[in-house]
Structure 1
Amino acid sequence: MVKNATGDVIAIDGKCLRRSPDKSSNKSAICMVTAWSHDNQLTLGQVKVDEKSNEITALPALLANLDIKGGIITTDALNA
């Protein structure tokens, strides 16, 4: 059962998926932005980053899909 987000620490970070680039078809790596709930120990949501973009542009879309009112959001320096 997922707890209420109040007081939960939600870590948001972007990562590129290992071995996702496909050189034969000239496709770049798949990059995702993920929201992780510390209290619930699970991923709350993920958004794929558009090609030729970065995680800063995907962050608002991720936050719009989450009900994390009252949670403590942490990000890395890129989103500060």
Structure 2
Amino acid sequence: MGEVIAIDGKCLRRSLDTASDKAAIYRVSAWATHNQPVRWQQKVDDKSNEITAIPKLLLQLDITGAVVTLDAIPTRQQL
């Protein structure tokens, strides 16, 4: 089996700035569970979500032979 790459979105702690009316910063990260804690990150665009950031992140990766895991959020579909 190839390397396991776990992808997940997170809000950067204390990035919300209500005094300046700035939204929190969200990033999608990819962890190569066998080699390094965090290998890649993609900032989520303002007024967007991790569903749109994940394809951008995947384009940066060589996932040939890897097992890629995601949580349930990016798997939802519009009906």
Q: Which residue of the other structure, out of 26, 30, 35, is the alignment partner of 1:31?
A: 26
In the alignment, structure 1 segments of 5+ residues that lack a partner are: 1-5
Which string of whole-angstrom CA distances, capped at 9 and with x for unpartnered residues, describes residues 48-77 of structure 1? 001111000000100001112110000000
- Distance in 1 between the 2:39 and 2:74 partners? 18
Match of 1:53, as an amino acid? S
Report how many aligned residue pairs link the two structures. 75
User: What corresponds to 1:7 in structure 2?
Assistant: 2
RMSD, aligned CA: 1.1
Shift of 1:41: 2.8
Gaps of 5+ in 2: none
In the TM superposition, what is the alpha-carbon distance from 1:34 to its structure 2 partner?
0.2
CA distance in 2, matches of 1:60, 1:78: 14
Q: Which runs of 4+ in 1 moved over 2 A?
A: none
Question: How high is the TM-score relative to the length of structure 2?
Answer: 0.89
Identity %: 59
| 2:72 corresponding residue in structure 1 | 77
Aligned partners of 1:68 and 1:44: how far apart in 2?
Answer: 13
Distance in 1, matches of 2:10 and 2:4, equals: 19
TM-score by structure 1 length?
Answer: 0.88
Deviation track 1:7-61 (CA, whole Å, cap 9, x = no partner) reads 1110000000110011111001000000000110331210000111100000010
Contact persistence 1:44–1:66 (CA under 8 A): no
